[in-house]
Amino acid sequence: MGAIWHASWPGTNLAALDFVVGGIPRGGTTAFADAFNRHPDIYCHASESHLVEFAAQMSGSLPIPAAALPAVRAELRRCLQISLIDLVEFNLQMGSPEPPLRFGEADLDLLADEMASAFNRRSQGLVCADRLSAILARELRQRSGKPLVGEKTPTNALALDQLGWQRTPPNAAPVFVVVRRPFAVIRSMRARLDNPVDIFATEYRGSTAEQAGYYARHALACARLLRAGARLFRYEDLSGNPHLAFRHALQLIGVAATDRIVHELAHTIQYRGRDTSRSGFAADEQALIDAITQPALDQLGYSRDPASQADRVALDCAGRVIAGQHPDGWLEQRSVLMLVAKPHHQRALLQVWHRFPAAIVGAHSQVSWSVQAADGRTLATGSAAGSEPATIDLAVAVDPATWHHCANGNLLLVAELCCSHSQVPMAHPDGPGGASADVRTLSGQLRQVDFA
């Protein structure tokens, strides 16, 4: 399972990516990746291909019916268009420098054809991601002329976490995970949303709780990758001492880390490590963001911010999903819960509904649901057999010793609601009419939350 990046594609001598960069969106991944391009032997494609994310989505839905394969190929081609051409053009309009490597329309047609054939081989999980990354790695080497190549997409962290990536001895290529404290991230998200011509910022929309949940969802995935063998770089440390950070990063890739080269890479990072400014955030926003994100920050090794307002948060009794939920109520395979109980409550009672195509869940297979704390502890579990519609009840104990105490006396828990399965409707049409146009990864719905 671990040999994703250096495994050869069967039947070829192609090596895959030499490293990959992921992390928290708006958290410094671009600056980290761009610095590598100052090295004479390294090219890091920082224009966010989203290929590992696409592989994670589709490989969770295999086998793909023949009727759905043309739609899968069309969706892949659309994703490549957005990531490798449209987003690059937008960034140039916003003042970004010309990237060292660009793809054209004909290139994307060829890539889409070749990559779609990987799905046709019924590759699953990390094998599917390996196939797509091998194709990309070949193109990057040929076009950049550099012997070592990598790719940066922040959501690589979510995708590799979903695929169950683990670093094992045969897999020498590192996964770099770049993270940053939440206020800088959310401020950057809001700045993108304030730009009326930015059509690529829709994922940042939502209430303050949802923006903090978005941060927590990515941060918790990064924390699990860290435990699985990824290399963590906190942006505050990176910008505070870039020479040390990049010397370490180059050593992990296995390339020259001379003083001159390290200084060249470090020069690209502006010193912002001491910027813990909360300017622009109202007091109640600060309290809410602190309370929601602190469990994830603990898992990333951050010390508690002396300016934290988490103890001042005051929330009403309720339970809802604050990240990983689509507008129509369908959940991703992992979503972030915010449960607020009154002091006398003993349990939070969750009712979850699901339905899966038979190709995803066999008649004797079990669909499992769980609620997991930020540190990985399982707080509640439930399961049902088969793919037919089922309702699962989960009871989470209200524990004053581990739940956060709000200023109004209520108790807060930020946790993850997890499903063992997911589907992509496009790849699994329910009727005879062919593939659906819906390309979202879905698991089930949270129907109700009660407290007792």
Q: Which of residues 251, 266, 281 is at a domain's end?
A: 266
Task: Give the range of the structural domain holding residue 350, as residue numbers without chain letter.
Answer: 314-451
Asked if residue 259 and residue 168 are part of one domain, the reply reads yes
Phi and psi angles of residue 172, each rounded to the nearest 5 degrees, phi first: -80, -15
* Residues 352 and 444 sit within 8 Å (Cβ to Cβ): yes
Query: pLDDT of the chain along its 452 residues, tens only?
Result: 233 333 333 333 334 889 999 999 999 999 999 899 999 999 999 888 888 888 888 876 667 788 888 888 998 899 999 999 999 999 888 888 888 888 999 999 998 998 888 777 666 677 778 888 888 999 999 999 999 999 999 999 999 999 888 887 655 678 999 999 999 999 999 999 999 999 889 999 999 999 999 999 999 999 999 999 999 999 999 888 999 999 999 999 988 888 999 998 888 886 554 455 798 899 999 999 999 999 999 999 999 999 999 999 999 999 999 999 999 999 999 999 999 999 999 999 999 999 998 888 888 899 999 999 999 999 999 999 999 999 999 999 999 999 999 999 999 999 999 999 999 888 887 666 667 888 888 999 999 999 99
Asked if residue 171 and residue 25 are part of one domain, the reply reads yes
Structural domain contains residue 346: yes
Structural domain contains residue 43: yes
* Residues 32 and 238 sit within 8 Å (Cβ to Cβ): yes
Q: Which residue has the tokens 């060249």?
A: 264
CA distance 320 to 448: 9
CA distance 129 to 50: 11
Cα Rg of the chain, angstroms: 22
- For residue 95, count CB atoms less than 10 angstroms from its CB and return exposed for 0-12, middle for 13-18, buried for 19 or more: exposed
Structural domain contains residue 300: no
SS3 state of residue 297: helix
Asked if residue 262 and residue 340 are part of one domain, the reply reads no
Chain-centre distance for alpha carbon 452: 34
* Residues 158 and 218 sit within 8 Å (Cβ to Cβ): yes
Q: Is the dihedral of CA 181, 18, 52, 94 positive or negative?
A: positive
* Beta pairing partners, 371: 380, 417
Asked if residue 326 and residue 225 are part of one domain, the reply reads no
Structural domain contains residue 306: no
Structural domain contains residue 11: no
Q: What is the CB-side half-sphere exposure of residue 64 using CA atoms within 13 A?
A: 30
SS3 state of residue 394: strand
Q: Which of residues 226, 243, 266 is at a domain's end?
A: 266
* Residues 274 and 237 sit within 8 Å (Cβ to Cβ): no
Asked if residue 318 and residue 259 are part of one domain, the reply reads no
Chain-centre distance for alpha carbon 160: 8
* Residues 332 and 249 sit within 8 Å (Cβ to Cβ): no
Structural domain contains residue 232: yes
CA distance 194 to 185: 14
Q: Which of residues 266, 295, 326 is at a domain's end?
A: 266
Instruction: Identify the pLDDT of residue 2.
Output: 30
Q: Which residue has the tokens 């590759």?
A: 123
Asked if residue 335 and residue 206 are part of one domain, the reply reads no
Instruction: Identify the pLDDT of residue 11.
Output: 33
- Count the neighbouring beta carbons within 10 Å of the beta carbon of residue 350: 23
Asked if residue 446 and residue 321 are part of one domain, the reply reads yes
Asked if residue 447 and residue 332 are part of one domain, the reply reads yes
Structural domain contains residue 128: yes
CA distance 262 to 248: 10
Asked if residue 145 and residue 35 are part of one domain, the reply reads yes
CATH number, domain at 358?
A: 2.60.120
Asked if residue 329 and residue 237 are part of one domain, the reply reads no
CATH number, domain at 36?
A: 3.40.50
Asked if residue 396 and residue 251 are part of one domain, the reply reads no
For the chain, how many structural domains are there in total?
2
- For residue 335, count CB atoms less than 10 angstroms from its CB and return exposed for 0-12, middle for 13-18, buried for 19 or more: buried
Structural domain contains residue 173: yes
* Residues 387 and 361 sit within 8 Å (Cβ to Cβ): yes
Asked if residue 387 and residue 257 are part of one domain, the reply reads no
